[in-house]
Amino acid sequence: MVSNSQVRELALAFPEAYEQEHWDEPSFRVRKRIFAVLHGGDRRAVLKLPIDYQEFLIEAEPQIYSARRFKNQGWTHVCLRAVRKDHFRKQLEIAWREVAPKRAIREWEQRARST
């Protein structure tokens, strides 16, 4: 289970990530490109994932992952009540990598290697 505050903390830990409102919900972005949206009242997040990976997750764990509107663009719903924090963090990183500039990704990888 992942709390709304944990979503925010995890998303903002990535280089150049910032929070901005999107349709009355907090979204997390890099250079104006959204990689995650938090729907706190519904206890779900929506992540921008590669479409083939989205399909894999939905098939493997349909109780956690689903796709609705904009599924053809990789937008994947994640049930925050059902997902483990370490799994969510991994999916969030993949979403961030979808929109982050190469320089920020290199910075993130260097930081990870030094810890």
**pLDDT tens profile 51-94:** 999 999 999 999 999 998 766 678 999 999 999 999 999 999 99
Q: State the total domains in the chain.
A: 1
Look at residue 3 in the predicted model and tell me its pLDDT.
Answer: 96
Q: pTM (2 decimals)?
A: 0.92
Look at residue 70 in the predicted model and tell me its pLDDT.
Answer: 67
**Does a structural domain hold residue 46?**
yes
**Does a structural domain hold residue 115?**
no
**Does a structural domain hold residue 70?**
yes
Mean pLDDT of 99-104: 95
Quote the domain boundaries for residue 46.
Answer: 4-106
| CATH number, domain containing residue 75 | 3.90.1150.30
**Does a structural domain hold residue 17?**
yes
Q: What is the DSSP letter of 115?
A: -
Q: What percent of the chain has pLDDT over 90?
A: 83
CA 25 centroid distance within chain: 14
Widest pairwise Cα distance in the chain: 39
**Does a structural domain hold residue 54?**
yes
**Does a structural domain hold residue 16?**
yes
Listed residue (22, 17, 24, 7) closest to 81, CA to CA? 7
